[in-house]
C-alpha cells in the first residue's frame, strides 16, 4: 500500500536542531565541522568481526522487493511506502533523491524521539548520481565493505546523506551482514554545533549495500542508554553515572572533544543488551533484510 511520503526537509532539520539544543541562545562556538574533525581523529574503536546471519523469531514484513523480520518485542508492525523522487526545490541539495522504499516501524519501544524508527532502501547508482552527499557516503561504505578485516574508525563511518548536519561521535561500530548484503552499524547523533548527547537524539545507524551493489540501505533507529541526559538542552539533568556536558560559556574545543570521547568510551563499554531497544534486537532486524533485484 502506497502512502503519501513525509520527508525530513532541510528546513525542518535546521529548525528542530536550532530549537532543540538550548532553551536560550548560546554563545557562538566553533562549528560542528571542527569538532567532528577533531573528535573523529580521536575515536578509533576497532569493530568486531561480522556476526553470523540468523533469521529472528518475529513478524515478517514484505514490500516491493524488500523483506525483513521484525524481532519479537521490537515493534508491532511497519508502515510501508514508496517515497517519490525529490529535486533540489523540494528539500535543498541534500534532499535530492530518486524514488525509494521506506519502512517505518510502529509500536516501537521509544516514542517521541528526534527521529522516527525507519529503514530506507535506495537504488544506489541513481542516488549517488544525483546527490553528492550520497556519493561520498557510498564511497566510504564501499571502502569498509571491500576490506572487512580492517579496523573500522569513526571517521570512516558514512554519514546520512540527506541530513543537513554532521555526526558528533560514533561508537559501538560493527560490521554487519544482511541476508544478501553487508555494511556497518554505529551509535551516533547528528547536530549542527556542539550538543549534549541525549536519549532524545541518539540513534542506531546502519548503512549497507546489497552484494550486487544495486541497493543502498540506511536504517535510522532511536536507541537509549540509561546514563544519558533526556534531551539536548545543556540544562537538562544528567544521571548520577552520566557525563556532564561542558559549560557553553567557558569550555574550550578540547573540552568538548574530551566530552565526546568520554561518552563514546562509556557507550562502547555498555553491554549490547543494556540499551533500549537492545543492540541484539536491532542487529537481528538488519540481518533479516533481503532485497531482490528488479
Q: What is the DSSP string of 115-177?
A: S--EEEEEEHHHHHHH-HHHHHHHHHHHHHHH-TTSPPPGGGSPPPTT-SSEEEEEEEEEEEE
What Rg, from alpha-carbon coordinates, does the chain have? 18
Residues 6+ apart with CB under 8 A from 70: 58, 59, 61, 77, 78, 105, 285
> Which residue from 283, 288, 287, 282 is spatially nearest to 109, judged by alpha carbons?
282
- Quick one: pLDDT at residue 149? 84
Task: Give the DSSP H/E element, type plus range, for residue 69.
Answer: strand 66-71
CA distances from 100 to 97, 119, 148, 162, 185 (A): 8, 10, 27, 13, 21
CA distances from 52 to 48, 119, 275, 287 (A): 12, 21, 21, 9
- Quick one: pLDDT at residue 34? 42
pTM score, two decimals?
0.82
- Quick one: pLDDT at residue 4? 34
- Between CA 205 and CA 133 the distance in angstroms is 16
Q: How far is CA 111 from the centre of its chain?
A: 16
- Quick one: pLDDT at residue 294? 78
- Quick one: pLDDT at residue 56? 76
Cβ atoms within 10 Å, residue 246: 21
- Quick one: pLDDT at residue 48? 40
Along the chain (294 residues), what's the average pLDDT of each consecutive run of 10 residues? 36 36 36 43 40 75 97 97 87 87 98 97 96 96 92 94 93 95 97 94 98 97 97 92 93 94 98 98 97 89
Amino acid at each position: 500500500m502506497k502512502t503519501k511520503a513525509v520527508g525530513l526537509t532541510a528546513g525542518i532539520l535546521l529548525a528542530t536542531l536550532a530549537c532543540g539544543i538550548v532553551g536560550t541562545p548560546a554563545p557562538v562556538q566553533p562549528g560542528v565541522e571542527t569538532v567532528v574533525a577533531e573528535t573523529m581523529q580521536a575515536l578509533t574503536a576497532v569493530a568486531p568481526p561480522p556476526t553470523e546471519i540468523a533469521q529472528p523469531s518475529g513478524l515478517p514484513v514484505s514490500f516491493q522487493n524488500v523483506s525483513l523480520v521484525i524481532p519479537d518485542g521490537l515493534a508491532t508492525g511497519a508502515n510501508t511506502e514508496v517515497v517519490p523522487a525529490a529535486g533540489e526545490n523540494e528539500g535543498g541539495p541534500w534532499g535530492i533523491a530518486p524514488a525509494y522504499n521506506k519502512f517505518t516501524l510502529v509500536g516501537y519501544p521509544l516514542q517521541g524521539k528526534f527521529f522516527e524508527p525507519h529503514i530506507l532502501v535506495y537504488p544506489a547508482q541513481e542516488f549517488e548520481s544525483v546527490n553528492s552527499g550520497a556519493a561520498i557516503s557510498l564511497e566510504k561504505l564501499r571502502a569498509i565493505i571491500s576490506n572487512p578485516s580492517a579496523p573500522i574508525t569513526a571517521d570512516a563511518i558514512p554519514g546520512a546523506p540527506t541530513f543537513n548536519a554532521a555526526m558528533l561521535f560514533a561508537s559501538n561500530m560493527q560490521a554487519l551482514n544482511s541476508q544478501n548484503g553487508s555494511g556497518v552499524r554505529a551509535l551516533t547523533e547528528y547536530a549542527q554545533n556542539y550538543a549534549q548527547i541525549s536519549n532524545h537524539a541518539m540513534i542506531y545507524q546502519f548503512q549497507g549495500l546489497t552484494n550486487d551493489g544495486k541497493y543502498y540501505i540506511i536504517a535510522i533507529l532511536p536507541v537509549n542508554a540509561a546514563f544519558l541526559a533526556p534531551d539536548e538542552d545543556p540544562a537538562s539533568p544528567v544521571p548520577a553515572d552520566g557525563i556532564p556536558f561542558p559549560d557553553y560559556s567557558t569550555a574550550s574545543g578540547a573540552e568538548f572533544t574530551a566530552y565526546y570521547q568520554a561518552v563514546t568510551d562509556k557507550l562502547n563499554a555498555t553491554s549490547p543488551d543494556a540499551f533500549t531497544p537492545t543492540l541484539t534486537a536491532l542487529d537481528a532486524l538488519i540481518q533479516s533484510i533481503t532485497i531482490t533485484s528488479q
